[in-house]
Amino acid sequence: MGHSGLTQGALFVLNRATVKIAIVGPGAVGSYYGAKLLRFGQEVHFLLRSDYDAVRKSGVRIISPEGNFSVRPRCAKTPEEIGVCDLVIISLKTVANDRFNELLPPLTGPQTALLTLQNGLGNEEALSAIFGSDNVLGGLCFVCLNRLQPGVIEHLVHGKITLGEFNRWPEPRTHDLATMFRNSGIPCAVTDNLARARWEKLIWNIPFNGLGVASAAGLEAVMNGKLIPGRPWSAGLSTDLLLADAQWLQLIRDLMHEIKTTANALNLGISDSLPEELISLTRAMKAYKPSTLLDFEKKQPLELQSIFLTPLDIARRHHVSTPRLQRLCTVLEGINNSIEAQNALSNS
C-alpha cells in the first residue's frame, strides 16, 4: 500500500469549521451519523426518496441510551438540489450501487471526499472506477441501530467508525475527518489498512448477518447447504439466539475461522483472538437483528454480492477451503431468489 502524497481534497476540513455534507441513502446508519454531525454544527443534507415527506415535516429523531435528540436536516429529492459538497457519505444498500453514476456526480467536485459506510467488499472499487481513487475513503461502522419508522432511529449500543483511505496510507484529511466525527460525539479511529479493516468487519458480518437469515430455513438446511423443499421458513434468529445455541455458535466460530483464514491468505495479518473478541462484543448487544435479517423480514433483496459472494470468490481464487461459507451462500441465494420471485409476482 503506497503513499500518494496529498490529494486535492486533503485539506478541506482544515480550511473551514463547517463542512458541507451529503448523506446518500439515509437509512438507519446514514440518518444516525448524519444527525450527530448536524447536531454538532455541520451543514448536512439528506438525499431522500420514500422518507422525504416525513423527514422534511418532522426531522430526524434519535432514540439512544446516550440521550434522545432531534435534528432537522436539509432535505432533497435530487442530488442537483444539494450541489457540490465537501464530503459525500454513502450509506446506500450495496444492491443500489448501480445508481452511483446517477446520484453522485452532481454532489462531487475536484475536492469532494467520497466516504462509503457500506458493508462488504467492492464499494471503494466501484466508486474509484467512476471518480478515481484519490478522493475515495471507506468507513467501517460497528453500531447497533434500528429504523423504527421514517426519520426515527433507535440506537442500542456501540457506534464506532474505523476510517481509512482506499489503497493509500492515511492522509491529513483522513485525520481531519476522524476529528470531525469525534467532535460530533462519534468514536472514530483511523486505520492504515482499509482492506484489513474490511475483512475484520466481515468476520462479524458473514456469520451474524448470514446465519440470521439462513436460520429461517433451519439448521439442517444450513449444515447441508440446501433448502428443504416444501419447508416453510421460520423467523430468522437474532444475535442472542444464535449465541445461546451450541450448534449455531459452533457454526459462527467455523465461519469466522474461514473468513480469517481467507483474509490472512491476502497477507492481512488478522489476529487469532479477533473472533472471540467479536463474540464477546456481540453478547453485549443482547437481542439484535442485523441489517440483512431486517431486509429478509421486509422481503427486500439481500446484500449477497458484497458481503458473501465476493469473499467466497476471493477464497476460491486463493485456494482457501471454505465449506461453511459455500453452503451458507447457497442457502442465502435460494432464499434471495425466492424473495425476488415473490416480489416480481406481487408487482406484476
Tell me the DSSP string of 258-311.
Answer: HHHHHHHHTT----TTHHHHHHHHHHTT-S---HHHHHHHTTPPP-HIIIIIHH
- In the structure grid, which three cell numbers stand for residue 304, read together? 449477497
Share of the chain above pLDDT 90, in %: 88
- In the structure grid, which three cell numbers stand for residue 203, read together? 468476520
Mean pLDDT of 224-235: 92
Strands 60-63 and 69-71: antiparallel
**For residue 16, what pLDDT band results from cuts at 50, 70 and 90?**
low
201, 226, 289, 299: the catalytic one is: 201
- In the structure grid, which three cell numbers stand for residue 5, read together? 502524497
Q: Share the mean pLDDT of the chain.
A: 93
Per the rule left: phi > 0, alpha: psi between -120 and 50, beta: everything else, 159 is left
160 as an active site residue: the answer is no
pLDDT tens readout for residues 189-215: 999 999 999 999 999 999 999 999 999
Q: Report yes or no: 189 and 160 within 8 Å, Cβ to Cβ.
A: yes
Burial 73-112 (b: 16+ CB within 10 A, else e): bebbeebeebebbbbbbbbbbbbbbeebeebbebbbeebb
Burial class of residue 314, CB neighbours in 10 A (0-12, 13-18, 19+): middle
Which pLDDT score is estimated for 1? Answer: 36
Angle (deg, nearest 10), helices 172-183 and 28-39:
80
Counting Cα atoms < 13 Å in the Cβ hemisphere of 100 gives 23
Among 64, 61, 63, 82, smallest CA distance to 72 is for 61
Mean pLDDT of 158-170: 94
Mean pLDDT of 24-38: 96
Burial 157-173 (b: 16+ CB within 10 A, else e): bebebbbbbbbbebbeb
Given a cut of 70, whether residue 164 has pLDDT beyond it is: yes
Mean pLDDT of 147-155: 94
Element (H, E) at 221: helix 219-224
Given a cut of 80, whether residue 67 has pLDDT beyond it is: yes
Which pLDDT score is estimated for 285? Answer: 82
Given a cut of 70, whether residue 8 has pLDDT beyond it is: no
d(CA 242, CA 274): 18
d(CA 223, CA 233): 16
Mean pLDDT of 233-260: 97
Given a cut of 50, whether residue 6 has pLDDT beyond it is: no
Can you give the pTM of this predicted structure?
Answer: 0.90
pLDDT tens readout for residues 107-138: 999 999 999 999 999 999 999 999 999 999 99
Q: Report yes or no: 113 and 84 within 8 Å, Cβ to Cβ.
A: no
d(CA 142, CA 32): 13
